[in-house]
A and B are shown apart, each in its own frame.
Chain A
Amino acid sequence: MSVDQNTVRHIARLARIAVRDDELSALAGELNSILDWVEQLGEVDTNGVEPMTSAVAVTMKMRDDVVTSGNLQKEVTENAPGSEDGFYVVPRVVE
């Protein structure tokens, strides 16, 4: 599998990263060299092998369903680009 400049443009769009047209060729080259290199995994027989889902076998713990934190309006809005009356103000993100 090999990526061309159109594919790079498409991936960059999916990743929401603006890429200039004059960068596409170099990026395609870099991505292809990495993808060619990982291609060697094709040699490995993985028939019937379970994909790893957890590096260490653990049973997920359940915690009590109680409120442990809250009333943090000031802390929550501290990094907000804008805030009004304790609300977080952001650009419109849903059209």
Chain B
Amino acid sequence: MTDLTKLTLAGARDALKKKEFTSLELTDAYLGAIEAATPLNTYVTVTADQAREMAKASDLKLGKGQGGALEGLPLGIKDLFATKGVLTTACSHILDGFKPPYESQVTQNLWHDGAVMLGKLNNDEFAMGSSNETSFYGPVVNPWRRNGDTTKIVPGGSSGGSSAAVAAKLCLAATATDTGGSIRQPAAFTGTVGIKPTYGRCSRWGVVAFASSLDQAGPIARDVRDAAIMLRSMAGYDDKDSTSVDRPVPDYEASLGQSLKGLRVGIPKEYRVDGMPAEIDALWTRGIEWLKAAGAEIVDVSLPHTKYALPTYYIVAPAECSSNLARYDGVRYGLRVPGKDITDMYEKTRAAGFGTEVRRRVLIGTYVLSAGYYDAYYLKAQQVRTLIARDFTEAYAKCDVLLTPTAPSAAFGIGEKTADPLSMYLNDVFTVTVNLAGLPGISVPAGLSSDGLPLGLQLIGKTFDEETLFRVAYALEEAAQFKAEPAVWWRS
């Protein structure tokens, strides 16, 4: 039998329906691939027995010609999603041993549609990071390497386990979350497709909270079609999340292949930032040419508050994280470090349980929310956020979708940026605006850097217009013909 892990999600779906192989065979192929890929450190928990049980149940359904949209398809789940009875720590020491007695709504939706869970994927601690180096379980290694070089490269973050596992074919697709770029930047760094849908499109119920007004779930997948299939199953209204939005979920796959005739693509001039590598600029120009050739009209637009997006984010996100993470106190679950009194126990538990990046953000958040500073920082940031969202509204009077690079560089080496938090934060310069405005964004692989690492282009859409994003992303994918794959060096 050929290597089953080479099939895309759509390919495997169609083959399972035709009974070319069973879900159990497919699942075993993935479990074998995962076992042989320990140097990548993508999975923090492998649920092999559960995966085989789910696959067998799917095979019974498929045998009768039944089953959901994802019946029998093995997926990886970011450790930020609560999975019933399965260790869920958000890759933080403070959640040691926590097995949720409930399932997140997004994963529940996937199981309802027949998907098979392979295990939990590594991520930056509490999704705080852009390189997957802040995980308590150690960094994830990108399957991609620079040409002729064995330096370990980061897979992006925070969904680095998801992006690396999809790129290394250790699952058909993966769930991920995006607060400032955590789906799109890792997708760009690994040659995969990642979409952050509109805020409210996916339920946040059972997703470990980082910054609640920015967090949104979405998939990372091998191609645009697979991402469309995944998002359709993940999305939907949930009465347990009051910010989830009650509107029908379209068949995103139906948007693929539709013409771009008459579509207006905006090019925001503020995204041409100082010091942007020439190859990123060239990639962007190529993307513009591709969409023009596909029939789209190119329009210059301005998003004047772009430069304030990152500083705004680094007030809003830490403020919300310091509030959300207040619940981890060592009293009710997870890690507890004993102390001489209750305050001492809280302080020791949180000192031992949080890593340095999480601690840094909790402290910043506590400071900007503290008495006397709230107006100067948090209120000001929320006002600037209104202006950033307004920029997009004004741009969308002239265009239907925006095209930008996903990240200001290709992936970097492990340890290269950890010494300087600010240089790490700058990774999200093109993605963070989208979270602040609640908009959908997708990253599509579009080429290789001069040293052989993947580069991505980002499309930003109007609120709840994921269909246009998928349509344009598919056209980009068709034009880019990105077929490069990482050489398999990690297999033991």
Contacts and interface: CB of A to CB of B under 8 A. Distances in A.
Contacts of B64: none
Contacts, number: 157
Given A17-B362, A30-B360, A79-B333, A40 B350 contact: no
Interface in A56-80: 56, 58, 60-61, 63, 72, 75-76, 78-80
**Could you say which of A12, A38, A40, A88 has the most chain B C-beta atoms within 10 Å of its C-beta?**
A38
B385 A52 contact: yes
Interface of B: 97-102, 198-200, 213-214, 239, 242-243, 245-246, 305, 307-308, 311-312, 314-315, 322, 326, 329, 331-334, 336, 342-348, 350-351, 354, 359-360, 362-364, 366-367, 370, 373, 376-377, 379-387, 389, 421-422, 435-438, 463
A76 to B, nearest CB: 7
B370 A14 contact: yes
B101 A31 contact: no
B381 A41 contact: yes
B370 A18 contact: no
Contacts of B437: 55
B434 to A, nearest CB: 10
Contacts of B239: 61, 63
A18 B360 contact: no
Main SS class of interface, A = loop
Given A49-B383, A52-B389, 5 more contacts: A17-B362, A51-B385, A52-B386, A79-B334, A81-B332
A92 B100 CA distance: 24
A92 B347 contact: no
A54 to B, nearest CB: 8
B97 to A, nearest CB: 8
A76 B421 contact: no
Interface residue tally on A, bucketed by range: 35 or more
**Could you say which of A17, A27, A49, A51 has the most chain B C-beta atoms within 10 Å of its C-beta?**
A17
A49 B436 CA distance: 16
A93 B349 CA distance: 14
Interface string A14-53: 1111110000000100110111011111101010011111
B314 A17 contact: no
B366 A95 contact: no
A8 B384 CA distance: 27
A38 to B, nearest CB: 4
Contact of A37 (B329, B362, B384, B422): B422
Nearest to B373: A1
Contacts of A18: 344, 347-348, 350-351
Contacts of A41: 308, 311-312, 315, 380-381, 384
A91 B331 contact: yes
B307 to A, nearest CB: 8
B101 A75 contact: yes
A70 to B, nearest CB: 13
Contact of B364 (A13, A19, A31, A95): A31
Given A72-B101, A80-B332, A53 B382 contact: yes
10 contacts: A16-B350, A17-B350, A30-B421, A40-B308, A49-B384, A55-B213, A55-B389, A55-B436, A56-B199, A93-B331
Q: Which 3 A-B pairs have the closest CB atoms?
A: A55-B438, A51-B382, A75-B101
Nearest to B435: A55
**Could you say which of A16, A46, A72, A79 has the most chain B C-beta atoms within 10 Å of its C-beta?**
A16
A55 B359 CA distance: 26
